[in-house]
Amino acid sequence: MKKIRVLVAKPGLDGHDRGALVIAQALRDYGMEVIYTGLRQTPEQIVAAAIQEDVDCIGLSCLSGAHNELFPAVVERLKEKGADDIIVVGGGVIPADDIPFLESKGIKKIFTPGTPTLETAKFIERAVYERDGYVPSEPFQMKQVAHIGIAVRSIEESLTFYKKILGLSLVHTETVESQNVKVAFLDGGNLYLELLEPLNEKSAVFKFIEKRGEGLHHVALGVTDIEARIRRLKEEGIQMIDESARPGAEGAQVAFLHPKSAHGVLYELCEKEG
């Protein structure tokens, strides 16, 4: 689903747009793309901008009392232009008595002062999804940390700390040739760590240590159906380092998300059999 686009518009002569700007920002924060027309727009100008910007919804704000003329005029102009699939909602200073009239004229919803902005955003989202016949899938929740990856210069030298000081047990070591790393897994019950030692200068872990020194390298999230998860992440615009799963340590299928798409954290999806 592409991002929902909304035109926030101020029809008519009133000169106050604080409320319109607040709602525009709230819709942006919710993840929508928002265009603001500026003050004192005619219905024709608003409809032209809405078509030009290919928006899903127009949010009209009117404080001047002329909503009963201006809001239906926008809906009429949309119909004339064959663009009445664009959803129109309104807000501002609107007496409760006027709401049924406006809704009968094709304004999908009137938001009265004090409506939480989140409610407005959710209403618009639902209306657009309904119009497009889009059924959003459940957000996929990451529930389990499979392991935490820690970059070290030498597994042998760091093991003393992990075993003697932290009391973890060494489960096994292996070499992942494709990644140019040697890894050691350490178990502490609810804590599972992967030490990563670069095999050579081509290793991503070598580059990491050169740049940042030893330390926390990645968080591996335990998942099922890893290919579906990757597809979903890509649909959401997340940049994947691995476009499809590849074999990782311990026989797992793994795929990394780019830290640039994940607020600076290198995440690994990790699917283990059984």
Nearest by Cα to 83 from 60, 111, 53: 53
- CA 6 to CA 54: how far, in whole Å? 9
**Residue 218, interface with ligand CMX (CB under 6 A)?**
yes
Question: CB–CB of 38/162 below 8 Å?
Answer: no
Q: Which residues make beta-bridge pairs with 58?
A: 7, 88
**Residue 207, interface with ligand CMX (CB under 6 A)?**
yes
Minimum gap (Å) between residue 145 Cβ and ligand CMX: 14
Give the residue, chosen from 47, 155, 184, 205, that forms a contact with ligand CMX under the rule CB under 6 A.
205
**Residue 257, interface with ligand CMX (CB under 6 A)?**
no
Q: Which DSSP symbol is given to 11? A: B
Nearest by Cα to 250 from 200, 196, 185: 185
- CA 7 to CA 118: how far, in whole Å? 17
| 1 vs 142, beta carbon nearer ligand CMX | 142
**Residue 198, interface with ligand CMX (CB under 6 A)?**
no
- With CB under 6 A as the contact rule, which of the stretches 52-60, 75-83, 155-163, 258-266 interacts with ligand CMX? 258-266
**Residue 43, interface with ligand CMX (CB under 6 A)?**
no
Give the residue, chosen from 179, 184, 253, 269, that forms a contact with ligand CMX under the rule CB under 6 A.
179
**Residue 253, interface with ligand CMX (CB under 6 A)?**
no
Minimum gap (Å) between residue 88 Cβ and ligand CMX: 43
Give the residue, chosen from 248, 255, 267, 271, that forms a contact with ligand CMX under the rule CB under 6 A.
248
| 23 vs 254, beta carbon nearer ligand CMX | 254
**Residue 266, interface with ligand CMX (CB under 6 A)?**
yes
- With CB under 6 A as the contact rule, which of the stretches 45-53, 84-92, 104-112, 253-261 interacts with ligand CMX? 253-261
**Residue 92, interface with ligand CMX (CB under 6 A)?**
no
| 143 vs 211, beta carbon nearer ligand CMX | 211
| 23 vs 233, beta carbon nearer ligand CMX | 233
**Residue 267, interface with ligand CMX (CB under 6 A)?**
no
Give the residue, chosen from 204, 221, 255, 269, that forms a contact with ligand CMX under the rule CB under 6 A.
204
Give the residue, chosen from 70, 146, 249, 255, that forms a contact with ligand CMX under the rule CB under 6 A.
249
User: Which residues contact ligand CMX (rule: CB under 6 A)?
Assistant: 149, 176, 179, 181, 196, 204-205, 207-208, 211, 217-218, 241, 248-249, 254, 256, 258-259, 264-266
